[in-house]
Amino acid sequence: MSLKEKLEKIDSEIENGLKFKASDRLRNLIQENPNETQLWNKLAELYYDSGFLDAAGKYWILTEPTDERMKQCVEIYEKSVNYSGYQILQEITFRGDKSKLNEFAQKKMSELESDSKKKADYIPEFKLKPNRQKRKNGNSKMTFKDKLTAFPIIGFFIFLVICSIIGVVTVIKWIF
């Protein structure tokens, strides 16, 4: 299913009052497509319309505020985490390529990272998670190189077990 089809399904769910399900789908889409800021904004709008201003601010934090409500939500969110860059980075778990973000988002990420480094002496980093389709197609196959490495190791452990059994049998024969 394409991104456009998924967004249409989400819109349909929102219209039918299935906002919780739609928010789950949007969060999953954000994990799969972290550089798609339209997804972040759509989720923020959904939270804003539902009255969750701090959650809306969390997803608007990388978007340049175009109106007062966005500024207000981001301020509420930042206040809820005590303006901690480390905590914000932990919660937004941005897994995308920072260089593909717009200038405002790159600047905001840099500010959050420098604050995190200054206060916590650590900058959390998150790697992109492959979606289910990619995991099924790519990561589950064992390459020839993997097999060459795995089978000798397994063979060695089998050899150790056999030697142990032979040793125990030999000791028992000596005793009796």
Each residue's pLDDT tens digit, 63-97: 999 999 999 999 999 999 999 888 998 888 888 88
HSE of 78 in the Cβ direction (CA atoms, 13 Å)? 15
What residues contact 77, with CB distance under 8 A and at least 6 apart?
53, 54, 55, 56, 57, 58, 61, 88
Residues 14-44: b if buried by 16+ CB within 10 A, e if exposed: beeeebeebbebbeebbbbbbbbbebbbbbb
pLDDT in the model for residue 132 = 55
Q: Model pTM? A: 0.68
Measured over the CA atoms of residue 20, residue 26, residue 30 and residue 36, the dihedral's sign is negative
Residue 76 has what pLDDT? 96
Closest CA relative to residue 88, chosen from 121, 65, 62: 62
Residues of the chain falling short of pLDDT 70 = 126-142
User: Which residues touch 17 (CB under 8 Å, ≥6 apart)?
Assistant: none
